[in-house]
């Protein structure tokens, strides 16, 4: 169910900071995504853990957030919305599955109702 998943977007420098500093008091499936993402070009790709079923996603490429993803060559770590509080303070930014930005000060649960 894609309604309950979010995407944590990181460019290469942000991925390096998270990876090297092991700011990873995170669930194992997110850590595995970071490990897999490290050293690879993002280019809008998603790292989807096997625990999450993710349908095909159709984004409108012209949106500001999609332009940011493209310009920064960010890659996305797909994660459960209930883990939002664990990544919101880390580098990068979070969107919902429709590529709508999730501000750090708002709860993901409120946005996904």
Q: What is the pLDDT of residues 66-75, one digit of tens each?
A: 888 888 889 9
- For the chain, give the mean pLDDT: 83
Q: What is the pLDDT of residues 30-76, one digit of tens each?
A: 999 998 998 888 888 899 998 888 776 777 778 888 888 888 889 99
Residue 113 lies in a domain: no
Q: What is the pLDDT of residues 13-32, one digit of tens each?
A: 999 988 887 656 789 999 99
Q: Could you give the dihedral angle defined by the CA atoms of residues 51, 20, 89 and 26, in that order, rounded to the nearest 10 degrees? A: 30
pLDDT band at 108 (very low <50, low <70, confident <90, very high): very low
- What pTM, to 2 d.p., does this model score? 0.85
What is the per-residue DSSP string for 22-90? T---S-HHHHHHHHHHTTS--TT-EE--TTS--------TTSHHHHHHHHHT-EEEEEEGGGHHHHTTS
- The domain of 83 spans 2-108
| Number of domains making up the chain | 1
Residue 57 lies in a domain: yes
């Amino acid at each position: 169910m894609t309604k309950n998943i979010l995407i944590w977007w990181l460019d290469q420098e942000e991925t390096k900071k998270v990876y090297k500093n092991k700011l990873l008091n995170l669930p194992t499936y997110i850590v595995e995504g970071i490990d897999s993402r490290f050293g690879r070009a993002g280019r809008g790709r998603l790292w989807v853990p096997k625990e999450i079923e993710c349908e095909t996603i159709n984004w409108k490429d012209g949106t500001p957030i999609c332009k940011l993803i493209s310009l920064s060559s960010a890659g996305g770590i797909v994660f459960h919305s209930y883990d939002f509080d664990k990544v919101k303070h880390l580098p990068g930014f979070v969107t919902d599955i429709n590529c709508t930005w999730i501000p750090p000060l708002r709860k993901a649960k409120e946005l996904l109702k």
